[in-house]
Structure 1
Amino acid sequence: MNDTARRLVLIDGSSYLYRAFHALPPLSNDDGEPTGALFGVVNMLRATLKEKPDYVAFVVDAPGKTFRDELYPEYKANRPPMPDELRAQVQPMCEIVEALGMPILRVPGVEADDVIGTLAVQAAGDGIDVTISTSDKDFAQLVRPNGDGDGGGIALVNTMSGSRMDSEQAVIDKFGVRPGQIVDYLALMGDTVDNVPGVHKCGPKTAAKWLAEYDSLDGVIAHAGAIKGKIGDNLREALDRLPLNRTLVTIRTDVELEQGPAALALREAHNDALRALYTRYGFKQALKEIGGTGPEQDGAQQARAEQAGMRNTAAGYARTTAADDAELDPALAAAGSYDCVTTQAQLDDWIGRLRAAEEFAFDCETDSLDPMRANLVGLSFSTEPGAACYIPLAHDYPGAPAQLDRDAVLDALRPLLSDPQRRKLGQHGKYDLHVLRRHGVEVRGYADDTMLESFVYNATASRHDMDSLAKRYLGYDTVKYADVAGKGAKAIPFSQVALDDATGYAAEDADVTLRLHRVLAPKLAAVDGLERVYRDIEMPLVKVLERIEANGVMVDGDELRRQSAKLGRRMLAAQQKATELAGRSFNLDSPKQLGALLFDELKLPALVKTPKGQPSTNEEALEAIADQHELPRVILEYRGLAKLRSTYTDKLPEMVNPDTGRVHTSYHQAGAATGRLASSDPNLQNIPIRTEDGRRIRTAFVAPPGRKIVACDYSQIELRIMAHLSGDEGLVNAFASGADIHRATAAEVFGKTIDAVDGNERRAAKAINFGLMYGMSAFGLAKQLGVSRGEAQDYIALYFSRYPGVRDFMERTREQAREQGYVETVFGRRLYLEQIHARNQGLRAGAERAAINAPMQGTAADIIKRAMIDVDAWLSGQADGKGAAPALMVLQVHDELVFEVEANFVETLVAEVSGRMSAAAELRVPLVVDCGIGDNWEEAH
C-alpha cells in the first residue's frame, strides 16, 4: 500500500458484532445490561482508529429481505434468529460507533457485503486505498493490488487472525485461485452458512483444481462430462443450480448509494457521549484513553473481560485488547540481528558467546519431519533476545557457499550441549534431542521447553506451535517455513534453501524460542501449582519419552500380513452377504448408495441425521437400526474390518524403520488439554481392544528371542481418583477392602449382598460408575443398558443416595468451574473451560461434563507420567557399563506401560515397576497395578 495515498476502512459491522458475542463470556454492567459483544466491538474499533484512516464506514445489514431472498427463498433459511442478549447490544453499539465519529451505513434491499463492495470499487477507482475489515472469505473476489497511480488497492484484513490479503498472489496462496475466480470457486463449493448448496463433496481443493484446469465456472460446466468418478456425477447433478449459486455469491458493486467514499471522512469523536457510554458499560481502559475515569468496581469487570479475551482462541481479540497491549514488551517484538556462521572464526566467536551465557536456545534444521530418519542440515542458537546465529551444515544447492564440516562443528559444540550444568531451551525440543542423538550428540541440561511452558500455563488458550505463541505472547509475526521453502508440489527441501533465507528463518526460531521463554517463565512462576506440574512432571518427561520413542517396539510383519489376508477374505464375505441381503450389488463404501438402499428401498427409519438434515449412514446411524434388519450389522462389520486393515495390518509393516527394524511412534505432551499423552505416526493409543480382531493386532507386537513383553496397567484408576476426590465413604471403603468395585456398587444400588449380585446388575453398575464420571445423562444410560429412561433415572438416584459424596463432589466441581473458569488435578494442573458460561445450553453442559471428568482424567495422566519418570530413572540405573539395559520401556497407552524385558529379569521388573506405579500418588485408596507377561503384547495384556 502507498503510505501517502488516502485510505478508506470499510468495517463489516455485523460480523464484528456476532464474532464478539460468540467469543466473549456473557458479561454485564452493574445494571445487568449485557456488554460482552460491545466490549469486543469497542476493542476492535479502537485498534482500527489507531491506524488513522482518512475515511471509514461501519456497514451493517438493514432489516428486511434482500434481492437474494427473492431469487432463492431458502437463502439463509437455516440461520437462527438473533439472540435477545445480542439484540439488546445493537443499539448501544451503534451509539458508540457514532460517538467515535464513524458513519454507519444501512441500505434496504441489499446486504452489507454489497454496500461494502460498491464503496470499495468506487473508492479504488478514485485512487483511494481500501481496507475491508472482515473475515468473510467472499470478499476475496474484490482484492486488487495498489495501482501505483492508476487506482487504489483493495485489501482484506481478517479480524479474527490479523492476516492481510492485498494481492492476487495472496489470494492464490490462501484459496488456490485468483480473485477473479473466487465467485466461481464459491459457487462450486456452496455456502452452508448462507444455505447455498454447492456440488456435493466438492471442497476447496477440488474447486481450485477444476478452476485451474478449466479457468471458470462456465469452463467447468462445459467440461462436466469429462470429469470422472463420483465427484463428476455430483457435478452433473448440480449443473442446473450453479448459475444461481454464482449470482448469490457475487458481491454487487453497483448499488445505488446516497453517498460515495468521499463523504465518509472520519469525524471528530464526541468524547462526552463516549465517556457516558464507556462509564455506563464499564469499559475502564477505553475510558482512560479519552481522559475519563470510571468507578473502581468497573476495573474488575474489565479485567475479567480482558482475561477472557486473552483465553479465547476463537476470536483472536488478544491482539487488540488493552490488557495485551500492556503485557506485550515492544523489545520482544522487534526484529533480530542474525549471523550466518560459515567460517571457523565465526564459529569460535559463537562458541564463546554460548559459554558465557547463563542459558541459550537451540534448534535443528533437517530434511524430514521424522526425527528417527532426519538428516541434520543446520543448527541455530540464541543467547539473548534479538541475537542469534545459524550454522549451515548441509545446504547443497548449485552455487551454495562453502560451509563448515558437520562432524567438526558437532565435535566443537558437544562439550556445551552435553554439559548438564548449562541450561538449554527449545520449542518442542524432543525432536531436536532425537536428531542430535542420532548424529552423535547426547544433549544434557535440557531445562525449558516453550511449547510445554505454554501448554501448562493454559492448555486451551492457544495452539502451542512457535508461530502461534510468538503472535500471542510477543506480538511477533514469524517467518513461516513455506515462506522460504515453498509448499505443496513446489516445496523444496531445506538443504536447497538459500543461506540468506535459511538464516532469517532458522536463527529466528532460536531467537523467538528464547524470547518466549522470557515471557512464559514468569507467568508459570506466578502460579505455584502450575510451576510444579511443569518442573516435576512435564520437563522430566521429555527425556523419558525420547528414550521410549528411540527404543521403538518390534512388530512381526509376517503376522500382520497374515491378518491382512484374513481380514480381506472376511471383507469379501461381508460384501457378498450384503449383496445377498440387498438383492442387488451396490458400493458398500458409498454413503449415497447405502442411504438410498436402506431408507428408500428397504424403508428403514432414518433415526440419525446429518448436520444438513439428510439421513446419516455413519456408525451411530447404523447401530440405531441394526435390530430392524441384518444389513446394517453386516455393513458395520465390513467397515470395522476395513478400518483395521487399512490403519494397522497393512500400514504398520510399512512403518518399520529400516535402520532399527522397529516401529517408532511419537508421543505428544501438548495434545489433550487434560494432560493425557497422544501418539502418532503410528497412533498406537487407539488400537481397538473391545473386539477379538482388534486384540489380535497386539499379537504382532513381539519381543526378540530371549526377551518377554511385560504390560503393567493401573486398575480402574479414574474410579479410584473419583473416590479420592469425592471422599465418599462408601467408595473409599469398597476400594480399601479390595472388593470388585462394580459388584460392590451393584450391591449398594440394588440392595443386595455382593455375592447375590448377578451379571446384569454388575453390568448396570459398571455403566453407572463410568457413565456418571463422564457426565452421562439418564437418556444415555438408558440407551446403553436397554432400559427405559425412567428406570435409568431411578438407578442414578439410587446411586447418589448410596454415594452422596460423589454427588456433592460433582456439584462442588461445577460451582468451582463457574466461579474460577477452570478446574484442577490433584497435582495442580489446570483445565480452563471457555464454554462454562456459554449461552448455548449444549455448550455449557459439555463444559460442565468436562469440569467433572477433567480432574479425574488429568490426575490419571499426571500419575502415569510421574510413574514413567520414576521407572525410567530406575531402569537407567540397571544398564551395564556399555549402556545396555535388561529392560526397555517401549510403549505407553493410556493407563498402561509396556516393557521389553530379558527373561531372567522379568520377576525383578514386575516387582519394581508395580511398586513404583503404585507409589506414584498418595490417594485415599490404594493404586492397584496389574502386570502380565507374554511373548507378545496381547498375551501380556
Structure 2
Amino acid sequence: MTRLVLIDGSSYLYRAFHALPPLTNSAGEPTGALFGVVNMLRATLKEKPDHIAFVVDAPGKTFRDDLYPAYKANRPPMPDELRAQVEPMCQIVHALGIDILRVDGVEADDVIGTLAVQGASAGMEVTISTGDKDFAQLVRAPGVAAGSIALVNTMSGSRMDSDAAVMEKFGVHAGQIVDLLALMGDAIDNVPGVEKCGPKTAAKWLGEYGSLDGVIASAGQIKGKIGDNLRAALQRLPLNRQLVTIKTDVALERDAASLRLREPHVDDLRALYGRYGFNQALKELDAGAVAGNAGPALPVAEKEPGRSRGSGFVSAAVQAPAGLDPALAAKGEYETITTIGQLQAWIGRLRHAGQFAFDTETDSLDAMRANLVGLSFSAEPGAAAYLPLGHNYPGAPAQLDRAQALDLLRPLLADPAVHKLGQHGKYDLHVMRRHGVELAGYDDDTLLESFVLDSGSARHDMDSLARRHLGYETVKYEDVCGKGAKQIPFSQCALDDATRYAAEDADITLRLHRVLSPRLAAEPALERVYREIEMPLVPVLERIEANGVKVDMDELRRQSADLSKRMLAAQQKATELAGRAFNLDSPKQLQALLFDELRLPALVKTPKGQPSTNEEALEAIADQHELPRVILEYRGLAKLRSTYTDKLPEMVNPDTGRVHTSYHQAGAATGRLSSSDPNLQNIPIRTDDGRRIRRAFVAPPGRRLVACDYSQIELRIMAHLSQDPGLVRAFESGADVHRATAAEVFGRKLEDVTGNERRAAKAINFGLMYGMSAFGLARQLGIGRGEAQDYIALYFSRYPGVRDYMERTREQARERGYVETVFGRRLYLEYIRAGNQAQRAGAERAAINAPMQGTAADIIKRAMISVDGWLAGHRDRALMILQVHDELVFEADESFVPTLVEEAGRLMASAAQLSVPLVVDSGTGNNWDEAH
C-alpha cells in the first residue's frame, strides 16, 4: 500500500528547540532545534514513505483569527535563536527531497488534515508525524477506513492508529476529541475552556452525555462549582468547537498523490550538514545512506517499519487468538545457510515438502532496481533458513557465490509442481526475474488471502497480520539494524541478526497461510475470487510493470514550458480582472476578493460556515464573473505541471528508459487496482490539457499503442444486476443507451430526443449508481430541485427494476453487513447500521455502487489474465503495458495490430457472461492519446 507521511513542521521545530540544549556550530550559529529536526527527518525517511510533505504555518492571520480575534493572542514571539534556524531547516528539508507546504488563511493542522483524509480516501496508508494531541480527532475521520490514518510521535516513538488507542490515552473516542478539547480549552492557543475542567472531567462528561451538545443540554444537572463553571462557559463552547476542529476541506494546489518523495540533492545536503556540524548525518551521506538509499530491504506492503520493538515471539502484551494451534505462535528455530551442503539439504527439504514460503532481502524498495542481498525459506511452522548472498561488512563470514547459489536454486524455483507462497510476492517475482530466475508455481500470497477475506481492513502487511491472527510480535528492521543515526543497511547487518529477521519473514508467512487458507476454504465464493482472479493476476501485473511504457521526454518538456507560460498568462489575466495583484493560491485572499470586494454570492460554504474557494465553489459562480473561471484554469494548469510534466521525467528508469508504475491489488476495498510511482489512474482526461499528458506515453519506432476500453461497463452491470427489462432492452438493441433512456423517460422517439434530454438521462444513469440525490442532479443539470425530483421519479417509473434492485441491495446490506460482486467478492459496510444518519446514508450509497464497481474490477482482472495467457505466444510482437480503470493498453508491432485488436477485444468481451453484451472499443496510435 502506498504510504503518505505528513510532518507537522511547526511541532518538530518547537519541540526540538525546547528539548535540546542551545547548541551552536563553529561559527556560533544556533543549531539545537535544527539538529533535532534533522534527526527526526532522517528517522522518518528511513521508514521509506512513498509520498511525504513538511507542513508549516504560513505567516499572517487565519480564519480562526476572524472567528476569535484573541486566538493565540498570548503566544510570545518566536525567540531570535529559533528564528535563525527556520531558513536552514527549510533548506535541509528541500534538499532531502521533501516538499514544504504553506497555505495562507489556514494553519498547518488544516493542511495536514485535508491531505490525510484525501490520502486515506484514495487508499493510502497515512502517517501524521506530530506530537500535537489535536490530531487525535483524525484517527477515525468520517468516511475514512479504520486504521488508515495513524499518528506517530517521532520523539517518543509512540503510535496511535485506532479508536481503542485514542480511548486508552484520552478516555474518549476519536470522534469525541473535538468536544474534549472544546471543554478543556487550550491555553497555548488562548482558547478558554470550562474553568477547572481538565481531561478527566471532560472525558467523564462526554462518557455520560455523549457529546458536547449533550453536555450543554445537561448543564443544569451538573452540581457544584464545576457545574457553575460549565454554565458560565456555555455561550463560548460552540465557538471553541469551531476553533479546535481541524479542517479537512482546504482548497490546495497540491493533492496527496503529487507529494512524491524526490531524490535528495546530495551536494546541497553535504554543504548544509558540514556547515552546521552534523557529522553523523554527513558520514551517512558520504556512505550513500540517505533517504531512499537506506532502511528496510522489503517492500512497504510486506514489512511495516517503525513499530514498537518485538521479541520475535508471543509477548504478554500480544496474546495468541483463542483456539490457535500453539505451533503457530511459538518461537522459531532458524538456520543460516553458508555452505553448498546446507543449501542442497534445504533444496531437498523444500522439494519434499511440496510447498514452501520464501522471501527476498534487497537493498531497495524499487523492485526494478533492487539488488538481491539474501533469500529465506520455510516449509514448516517454526523452522526456516536464511541464505545470505550480499552481506559486505568488515569481518563478514564467507557466503555462497550468488550466481552459483541461484543456479542451484533455479530448478526448484522454476518448478511449477513445487508450490511457493509469499507476502506481497509480486515484489519478489520482480527481484528474482531481474536476477535471472523465472519463478513458477507462485500459488499463494498471504496479503491477498487477507485482502479477499476482509477487503475493508486498512492493514494487510505481515506485521499487522501476525499480530492480528497469531498474537505474534515480529522482529522489526530497527531491532537488527538499529534506528536513527546509528541505523545500518541490511547488507551490513550481522548474519545472526539478519537470519533472525529474514528467516522469520518466511516462517510467519507460512504460519499465516496455515491460518488464512482454511478460512478462505470455508467461504467458497471468496476462495474462487482468490484462486481464479487475484492469484493468477500476480504474475500478469509483474509482467506489465516490468514491460513499462516509453515516455517522450521532449514532449513533456514542451508541455511543461507551455503550462508555465499559460499559468503566467492566467495570473496576469486574474490580476487584470481583479484590478490589483493578489495570491491565486491563497484561499483567504480569494475569499476577500471574490465575496467582499466583488460581492459574488457564496454558494458553497466550508463546514465552519465560511465562503469556500474550492473547485466546486468556484464552478458555482463561474457564470457570474470571469475571474473564478480564470482561477480554476490556473489551478488546473499548475496541478498538471507539478504532478505530471515535471515529475514523469524523474521516474524514468535509467536501465530501461521507461516508466514502470506499481499496481496494488489490495489498494481499494472494491477490488479496483490502484497504481503509484507514477499514479496513472488519476491522469485527468476530461480536458484537452489533461489528455495531452497521454501524448507523452509513446510507442517505439516500428510499433503502435493499442487501447481497448470497456464501453459503459458499470451501467451494463446495473442492467444485469437489476434485470430491468427496459434497461436490458436498451443495451441489447445496441442503441445509444442514454438516448434510449431519454426516449423512455420523456416519452419520445429515439430520433426526437434533444441534446438536453440525453444529457439529463446520462446524468441520471450514472448519478443513481453513485447515490446522487435530487439536489445533486439539480445542481449538475442547472434545474430546480423539484424538476430534478420529477426526473428521478419518472426514471424509476420507466425502470422499476432499478428501483427494486437499489432497495433490495440496501436491505440485504443491512441484514448481512456486506454486499457482493457478481463473482462473490465482498465489501463489508461498517456503518450500514449506524445510528448516525449521514454515516448510514454513505454506507447505503456504497452498498449500491460497490457491486457494480467491484464487478467491473473483477471483469477487467479476468480479462487481463485471459489476454496475458494469449500473449504468451506473441511476446516478441506485443506487450500489455498499462491498465487504467476499464482500459487496457498494449504496445505492438504495426503488422500485428489488427490481430491484437481482434483477439484482445474478443477475450475482454468474453470475460463475463452478463444479461447484456460487453462491448469493447479499440483505438491505435503512436501515443496513448491517439490510441484512446
Q: What is the TM-score when the length of structure 1 is the normalising length?
A: 0.67
Instruction: Return the match for 2:453 from 450, 454, 457.
Output: 457
Q: For residue 25 of structure 1, what is the aligned residue in structure 2? A: none
Superposed, 1:67-466 pairs within 5 Å as 171-172=156-157, 174=159, 192-195=178-181, 241=189, 325-466=321-462
Cα 1:389/1:875, change in 2 over 3 Å: same
CA distance in 2, matches of 1:573, 1:487: 49
CA distance in 2, matches of 1:908, 1:482: 53
**Structure 2 letter corresponding to 1:471:** R
Instruction: Return the match for 1:556 from 549, 552, 558.
Output: 552
The answer to whether structure 1 residue 518 and structure 2 residue 518 are counterparts is no
CA distance in 1, matches of 2:583, 2:344: 67
Residues 362 and 374 in structure 2, CA contact (< 8 A), matched pair in contact too: yes
Deviations 1:719-759 (A, max 9, x none): 11111111111111111110100000000111100000011
Moved more, 383-392 or 692-701: 383-392
Q: For residue 629 of structure 1, what is the aligned residue in structure 2? A: 625
Cα 1:197/1:605, change in 2 over 3 Å: farther
Residues 867 and 917 in structure 1, CA contact (< 8 A), matched pair in contact too: yes
The answer to whether structure 1 residue 935 and structure 2 residue 931 are counterparts is no
Cα 1:251/1:849, change in 2 over 3 Å: closer
Residues 184 and 198 in structure 2, CA contact (< 8 A), matched pair in contact too: no
Cα 1:324/1:492, change in 2 over 3 Å: closer
Q: For residue 722 of structure 2, what is the aligned residue in structure 1? A: 726
The answer to whether structure 1 residue 503 and structure 2 residue 499 are counterparts is yes
Moved more, 434-443 or 819-828: 819-828
Residues 695 and 929 in structure 2, CA contact (< 8 A), matched pair in contact too: yes
Residues 318 and 473 in structure 2, CA contact (< 8 A), matched pair in contact too: no
Q: C-alpha displacement at 1:442, in angstroms?
A: 0.6
Q: C-alpha displacement at 1:339, in angstroms?
A: 1.6
Cα 1:322/1:655, change in 2 over 3 Å: closer
**Structure 2 letter corresponding to 1:930:** D
Q: For residue 37 of structure 1, what is the aligned residue in structure 2? A: none
CA distance in 1, matches of 2:336, 2:691: 53
The answer to whether structure 1 residue 755 and structure 2 residue 751 are counterparts is yes
Q: C-alpha displacement at 1:340, in angstroms?
A: 2.1
Residues 138 and 249 in structure 1, CA contact (< 8 A), matched pair in contact too: no
Cα 1:169/1:887, change in 2 over 3 Å: closer
Instruction: Return the match for 1:826 from 795, 800, 822.
Output: 822
The answer to whether structure 1 residue 877 and structure 2 residue 862 are counterparts is no
Cα 1:445/1:798, change in 2 over 3 Å: same
CA distance in 1, matches of 2:863, 2:673: 14
Cα 1:936/1:829, change in 2 over 3 Å: same
Q: For residue 891 of structure 1, what is the aligned residue in structure 2? A: 882
Structure 1 counterpart SS, 2:539: helix
Moved more, 435-444 or 825-834: 825-834
Residues 391 and 492 in structure 2, CA contact (< 8 A), matched pair in contact too: yes
CA distance in 2, matches of 1:243, 1:793: 45
Q: C-alpha displacement at 1:671, in angstroms?
A: 1.1
Residues 381 and 511 in structure 2, CA contact (< 8 A), matched pair in contact too: yes
Q: C-alpha displacement at 1:407, in angstroms?
A: 1.3
Structure 2 counterpart SS, 1:338: strand
Superposed, 1:466-545 pairs within 5 Å as 466-486=462-482, 491-545=487-541
CA distance in 1, matches of 2:711, 2:316: 48
**Structure 2 letter corresponding to 1:171:** S
Deviations 1:867-926 (A, max 9, x none): 1111100110224xxxxx211001111111111011111111111111111111111111
Residues 321 and 470 in structure 2, CA contact (< 8 A), matched pair in contact too: no
CA distance in 2, matches of 1:572, 1:799: 46
**Structure 1 letter corresponding to 2:512:** L
Superposed, 1:542-621 pairs within 5 Å as 542-621=538-617
Cα 1:640/1:340, change in 2 over 3 Å: same
CA distance in 2, matches of 1:773, 1:506: 46
CA distance in 2, matches of 1:476, 1:323: 7
Cα 1:396/1:250, change in 2 over 3 Å: farther
Identity across the alignment (%): 75
Alpha-carbon RMSD = 3.4
CA distance in 2, matches of 1:646, 1:830: 37
Moved more, 387-396 or 339-348: 339-348
Structure 1 counterpart SS, 2:668: coil
Residues 328 and 475 in structure 1, CA contact (< 8 A), matched pair in contact too: no
Q: For residue 684 of structure 2, what is the aligned residue in structure 1? A: 688
CA distance in 2, matches of 1:251, 1:623: 43
Residues 341 and 347 in structure 1, CA contact (< 8 A), matched pair in contact too: yes
Q: For residue 892 of structure 2, what is the aligned residue in structure 1? A: 901
Q: What is the TM-score when the length of structure 2 is the normalising length?
A: 0.67
Q: C-alpha displacement at 1:625, in angstroms?
A: 2.9
**Structure 2 letter corresponding to 1:440:** G
Structure 2 counterpart SS, 1:364: strand
Q: C-alpha displacement at 1:764, in angstroms?
A: 0.5
Deviations 1:267-326 (A, max 9, x none): xxxxxxxxxxxxxxxxxxxxxxxxxxxxxxxxxxxxxxxxxxxxxxxxxxxx99999843
CA distance in 1, matches of 2:178, 2:460: 30
**Structure 2 letter corresponding to 1:591:** P
Moved more, 337-346 or 595-604: 595-604
The answer to whether structure 1 residue 663 and structure 2 residue 683 are counterparts is no
CA distance in 2, matches of 1:323, 1:720: 48
Residues 74 and 195 in structure 1, CA contact (< 8 A), matched pair in contact too: no
Residues 367 and 376 in structure 1, CA contact (< 8 A), matched pair in contact too: yes
Q: For residue 671 of structure 2, what is the aligned residue in structure 1? A: 675
Consecutive unaligned residues of structure 1, counting only runs of 5 or more, are: 1-71, 76-135, 141-159, 176-182, 184-189, 200-237, 254-318, 880-884
Cα 1:170/1:501, change in 2 over 3 Å: farther
Structure 2 counterpart SS, 1:762: helix
Q: C-alpha displacement at 1:338, in angstroms?
A: 1.5
Cα 1:339/1:718, change in 2 over 3 Å: same
**Structure 1 letter corresponding to 2:882:** L
Instruction: Return the match for 2:699 from 699, 703, 706.
Output: 703
- Number of positions where the alignment pairs a residue of Structure 1 with one of Structure 2: 667
Q: C-alpha displacement at 1:409, in angstroms?
A: 1.4
Structure 1 counterpart SS, 2:659: coil
Q: C-alpha displacement at 1:138, in angstroms?
A: 8.4
Q: C-alpha displacement at 1:611, in angstroms?
A: 4.2
Structure 2 counterpart SS, 1:536: helix
Deviations 1:6-25 (A, max 9, x none): xxxxxxxxxxxxxxxxxxxx
Cα 1:689/1:586, change in 2 over 3 Å: same
Q: C-alpha displacement at 1:171, in angstroms?
A: 2.2
CA distance in 1, matches of 2:357, 2:501: 15
Q: C-alpha displacement at 1:191, in angstroms?
A: 7.6
Q: C-alpha displacement at 1:378, in angstroms?
A: 1.1
**Structure 2 letter corresponding to 1:377:** V
Cα 1:764/1:540, change in 2 over 3 Å: same
Structure 2 counterpart SS, 1:589: coil
Deviations 1:227-270 (A, max 9, x none): xxxxxxxxxxx9984697999998799xxxxxxxxxxxxxxxxx
Cα 1:388/1:362, change in 2 over 3 Å: same
Cα 1:139/1:553, change in 2 over 3 Å: closer
Q: C-alpha displacement at 1:454, in angstroms?
A: 0.8
Residues 567 and 645 in structure 1, CA contact (< 8 A), matched pair in contact too: yes
Deviations 1:581-615 (A, max 9, x none): 22222222233333333344434444434445544
CA distance in 2, matches of 1:749, 1:139: 54
Residues 608 and 615 in structure 1, CA contact (< 8 A), matched pair in contact too: yes
CA distance in 2, matches of 1:582, 1:496: 61
Q: For residue 642 of structure 1, what is the aligned residue in structure 2? A: 638
